[in-house]
A and B are shown apart, each in its own frame.
Chain A
Amino acid sequence: MEKSIDRATCSVLRNAEKSGIRTVWERYSAQLPQCGFGETGLCCRHCMQGPCRISPFEDGPREGVCGATADVMVARGISRAVAAGTASHGGHAKHMARTLLRSAMGEAPDYPIKDEAKLQAVAARIGVSVDGRDAAAIAGDVARKALADFSEKDSPLTWAATTVTKGRVDTFLKFGVVPTGIDSAVSESMHRTTYGVDADPVNILLGAIQCALADYSACHMATDLADILFGTPSPVVTKANLGVLKRNAVNIALHGHNPLLSDIVAQVSGEPDMTEKAKAAGAPEGINVVGVCCTGNEVMMRHKIPMATSSVSQETVLLTGAVDAMVVDYQCIMPSLANIAECYHTKLITTMPIAKIPKALHIEFHEDDAKESARRIIEAAIEAYGKRDRDRVHIPDESSTAFAGFSTEAIVGALSLVNREDPLKPLIDNIVAGNIYGVCLFAGCNTVKVTQDANYTAMIKELAKKNVLILATGCASGAFARHGFMTPEATEQYAGPGLKAVLTAVGQAAGLGGPLPLVLHMGSCVDNSRAADVAVALANKLGVDLPMLPVVASAPEPVTEKAIAIGTWAVAAGLPTHLGVIPPVLGSKVVTEVLTSTAKDLFGGYFIVEPDPVKAAEKLITVLGERRRGLGLSA
């Protein structure tokens, strides 16, 4: 199997191979064969009487020491994955809420309220009074309400209850899956999946869905609060791929997830004295900040900062030999970065107390003097620049133009240029008319198990041809950006006639002089909530619930537990959700059946597992057709 279909990535990897530097692909090969019990979800290490495993085939024990069946093991495993994903998004959102609170209290001077309109909108939605109050007071209440969502409450989670359709709320109540606390949902998932608690696989899965809805709330909260602190994204034009690194600049790669770190580094890097210091250190082009992974998305849409690469290929940035510092916070940071940085002059700088890596330089990042922390980080990068070995620098030429930053507000804004009174009407009219056959949200990661970007690029071509409107977040965005799908040219090249006409009309109205890009970039992985908002707005406008909408989701190359959590809430939200990698559930017929079929009866959404991208696209198109017929539309 090829490592990647991306030329820049491949050229850097070839160099690495020559130098004997091992990356994620070599480590994956070394892991093969991977354990079949793990691959099918049939091992359990939840107690010290284990580990237990059940053969997915004929003879051998049919249950673990405690009596847990294959169904229980698999359900527990997937439930814990959802809990871990929720804990991750929860940690991210809580970090944001605490910072907002400190900002409101004047304790975080580097984090002023940047988007008061968004603050007011969020406040109004969650029932915080805005009339005649100053931003700090409102922000304080919003932050406190956000923090209150973490522990167990007597009422449903604010960020869940106020952001979904009435129909969803009723469905969640009906099946008893309404979460009342983000942290408490994680805690309860851990409790019910520990030794001797929940042994009903379906009940465990309902618990997982409840936890996933807490994950949704956390994602939504993180997005809302990031917009308040750093601004709601609006479209920008930038570049993506390794070619964005500069030979004659101090290159700083921002990697991870939370804009609390990256946004400040981005801001400070633009300060004149920082540029001067860089030039003084021998970098005529000053400081060049690039993004990696979801942090890359955050700074791309708010600061036009180019994106170097995304998750699975994060090591390639360092392999160019041109990165002076890589600054990381948390999530999806491969520990191997430290080893690769060591092969070069590169400083790997960790910043979070919960995410340290041996051999990395740790500069702890504090909200109360964020900019000062950022300056120290940048100075470390400038210092490293002096040690860069120019003979080992290999920056590929490739970089593609990328239009980014289509937040919900930006999309509605663009549509309002077509119809000021009723912005959603053009979108709905075109869905009804069939110019837009349906909507597909691409999310998730890149995985070493699939040739990088192969699934994304194959699927988007099929879907666009059939006039499916494409939204993207997270590392899906990275893939599309790298390959030039976030451009008006891609619309010209790949969109079916209906879709092309719509994107062109909106693009013209927005003054682009051409169509909107083929992929509407909605942000990082927590920003999947933005796509959910679009779907909810459409459903409310049409007066139907989400499971009726011709909207699907796809994670063609998923990796993380966060992806499992997001996929699960997408299913609960009523979206048919495609996975291009087989999750560790096939060891249980019950769990497989529930996730791919029964869930449809309960929630309307369900998982479609299909490794072949062309077949996957066909399946999604079929599903969109079914839903169109359900609405009485042409299919």
Chain B
Amino acid sequence: MKQVFVIPERCMGCRSCEIGCAVQHSKEKTLFSAVLQSPPPMKRLFVESTDAIRMPIICRHCEDAPCLRACISGCLYRDEKGFVRRRKERCIGCWTCIMVCPFGVVTRDREKHIAVKCDRCHKLDTPACVAACPTGALVLVDIDDMPKETRQRLVLAGQKGVG
């Protein structure tokens, strides 16, 4: 199964992934219509940086997902592909998922008062963030095809594949 990985040293901090994500989650799914959309579409991943490192922080669709377990309204669920997704109509905006996500990748839709999170672009072969990355910092790979050293390094970097 293919998973999304981040290779931090390739990240230029350009935030193209954020834009690609927001566009993918807009009504018409093109940049120019998305820019004109009101309210604007929301991104689901976040490029963060320190002096030493910069990289997009993405939803891991954790095996033991705190958001999913904490959801008090039956909104979050794990779909057949293993992605943690929303039943939007069930969200009551209690923000419990935001309170428990250790990655900080669940956010608030201030207009609709519902939680927003990565759906791993479940309808696409390649997630929008991966497709938008110009440097290959976000990659979609089969963990088995990944060289051992890369895998070890990513694991050491506290990462877990997504998907």
Contacts and interface: CB of A to CB of B under 8 A. Distances in A.
Interface in B19-76: 19-20, 22-23, 31-32, 34-36, 39-43
A55 B18 contact: yes
B134 A57 contact: no
A35 B14 contact: yes
Contacts of A37: 14-16, 19
Nearest to B128: A33
Contact of A36 (B23, B36, B40, B131): B23
Nearest to A35: B16
A582 B32 contact: yes
Nearest to A588: B35
A1 to B, nearest CB: 14
A587 B35 contact: yes
A33 B15 contact: no
Of A36, A582, A587, most buried by chain B (CB within 10 Å of CB) is: A36
Contacts of B19: 36-37, 55-57
Contacts of B31: 36, 39-40, 56
Q: How many of chain A's residues touch chain B, expressed as a range?
A: 10 to 19
A507 B149 CA distance: 76
Main secondary structure of the interface of A (DSSP, over half): loop
Given A582-B32, A586-B32, A586-B36, A36 B42 contact: no
Interface in A46-74: 53, 55-60
Nearest to A56: B35
A57 B15 contact: no
Interface string A6-43: 00000000000000000000000000010111011000
A587 B43 CA distance: 16
Contacts of B42: 57-58
Interface in B53-110: 107
Contacts of B18: 55, 57, 60
Nearest to A33: B132
A36 B24 CA distance: 13
A575 B41 CA distance: 35
Contact of B16 (A36, A60, A582, A587): A36
B22 A33 contact: no
Contact of B20 (A36, A40, A55, A59): A36
A129 B16 CA distance: 60
Contact of A33 (B16, B39, B43): B16
A564 B141 CA distance: 42
A587 B32 CA distance: 9
Contacts of A57: 18-19, 22, 34-35, 40-43
A586 B131 contact: no
A33 B35 contact: no
Of A56, A57, A60, A587, most buried by chain B (CB within 10 Å of CB) is: A57
Given A55-B19, A58-B42, A33 B134 contact: yes
A36 B33 CA distance: 12
Nearest to A609: B32
Contacts of B16: 33, 35-37
Contacts of A56: 19, 31, 34-35, 40
Given A36-B19, A56-B31, A57-B35, 16 more contacts: A33-B16, A35-B16, A35-B134, A36-B16, A40-B35, A53-B15, A56-B19, A56-B34, A56-B35, A57-B41, A57-B43, A58-B43, A60-B15, A60-B18, A586-B32, A587-B35
Top-5 shortest CB links A-B? A36-B19, A57-B40, A57-B22, A586-B35, A56-B35
22 contacts: A33-B20, A33-B131, A33-B132, A35-B16, A35-B134, A36-B31, A37-B16, A39-B31, A39-B32, A40-B31, A40-B32, A55-B15, A56-B34, A57-B22, A57-B34, A57-B40, A57-B41, A57-B43, A58-B40, A58-B42, A582-B32, A586-B36
Interface of B: 14-16, 18-20, 22-23, 31-32, 34-36, 39-43, 107, 131-132, 134
